[in-house]
Chains A and B, each alone.
Chain A
């Protein structure tokens, strides 16, 4: 697996969020605090650390970390869906992993106030969009064509004018060397293919076969 190690500074994040259409940022409030753009300054740093929740394998499989606790609200499915949407990858090629508690990378790793999606929406989208942008840049550099002619669809990068294409997996290691963009463009809502569609619980098979998933099932080593 090639890990995309990168980070985005706070300034970039604010710009990106502005590009995303102020609506997202304005609706972005902390447990019902008054919404205004200044709230952005209190955004958790967690979302800037791309490697905290996304890696792309050479085979094109995208592993997305789900940062928040799953308590039946299905965030372990829905939060990675948001990232996958912006990465533009086929959901069936996504592996979801539960992120460990890591206060260096993440904050607000809790469930409460129905805030998981609201609080993380711009950050998750930005993470996915940044990865997609870097894959497009990598393709443009490889093929020596302008990046604005590069498109993506479900895990494949295309340069339609020359008929070239490559899977995300093939470009992943090149993409990891691309400087993190100052700005990334998020998808138009009308182009969503995953968000807004029903997807099954990513832990369904584990649940129906009784595999250990819960706090009660935790065993200390040696016990």
Chain B
């Protein structure tokens, strides 16, 4: 199998896997970065959201061969101490219930605020539309994004 050179959370990684292996599997099973979750496996739910060159991207359908030389950031790499503005806002508003989707939610929210530091309600809804939460924490998610945008 070919060897892929990846850059994940600022660190270079060499991975020897099939080219079609989804990045999510590489993260979770090969690199033990378990913060990114498997939800649907079809890029429909957002649980597996990571940043690919600062853009929120679903990692469950992303072949590892397509992400070589790109900057990959996972929830573990978003901040060193859990103090990214979005993480701080998430704690302040007490967003999570079960928490399963929240890494994906936070990564989508962080990407949104990076490209649009003061999003409107409509812009938040549009950006977060692909991240599903079974506990229905949507109201607090929106509130936390607004809180983060005001830090």
A interface, CB within 8 angstroms of B: 70-74, 198, 200-201, 203-214, 216-217
A74 CA to B33 CA, complexed, in Å: 25
Q: List 7 A-B contacts (CB under 8 A).
A: A72-B99, A204-B94, A204-B96, A207-B103, A209-B82, A209-B87, A216-B38
Residue of B nearest to A214 (CB): B100
Tell me if B97 is interfacial: C-beta within 8 Å of chain A. yes
Query: B34: which of A70, A200, A217 is its contact (CB, 8 Å)?
Result: A217
List, in ascending order, chain A residues with CB within 8 A of B134's CB. Answer: 72
A72, A73, A203: most-surrounded residue (chain B CB, <10 A):
A72
CB distance from B96 to the nearest CB of A (A): 4
Residue of B nearest to A217 (CB): B34
Contact B98 A210 (CB under 8 A): no
Tell me if B68 is interfacial: C-beta within 8 Å of chain A. no
Contact A210 B96 (CB under 8 A): no
Contact B34 A210 (CB under 8 A): yes
Contact B91 A208 (CB under 8 A): yes
Q: With contacts A72-B134, A72-B135, A200-B91 known, is A208 near B34, CB below 8 A?
A: no
Q: Which of B1-60 contact A (CB under 8 A)?
A: 33-38
List, in ascending order, chain A residues with CB within 8 A of B96's CB. Answer: 201, 203-204, 207-208
Interface residue count on the B side (C-beta < 8 Å)? 25
Classify the interface of chain B: helix, strand, loop or mixed. Answer: loop
Q: Which of B132-150 contact A (CB under 8 A)?
A: 134-135
Contact A212 B98 (CB under 8 A): no
Contact A208 B106 (CB under 8 A): yes
Contact A205 B91 (CB under 8 A): yes
Contact B94 A210 (CB under 8 A): no
Contact A74 B35 (CB under 8 A): no
Contact B102 A208 (CB under 8 A): yes
Residue of B nearest to A223 (CB): B29
A206 CA to B38 CA, complexed, in Å: 17
Q: With contacts A72-B135, A204-B91 known, is A210 near B76, CB below 8 A?
A: yes
List, in ascending order, chain B residues with CB within 8 A of A210's CB. Answer: 33-36, 74-76, 103
Residue of B nearest to A211 (CB): B35
Q: With contacts A212-B34, A216-B37 known, is A205 near B82, CB below 8 A?
A: yes
Query: B97: which of A74, A214, A216 is its contact (CB, 8 Å)?
Result: A74
List, in ascending order, chain B residues with CB within 8 A of A208's CB. Answer: 82, 87, 90-91, 96, 102-103, 106
Query: B99: which of A73, A198, A213 is its contact (CB, 8 Å)?
Result: A213
List, in ascending order, chain A residues with CB within 8 A of B36's CB. Answer: 210
A203 CA to B82 CA, complexed, in Å: 13
List, in ascending order, chain A residues with CB within 8 A of B33's CB. Answer: 210
Residue of B nearest to A74 (CB): B97
CB distance from B39 to the nearest CB of A (A): 10
Contact A201 B97 (CB under 8 A): yes
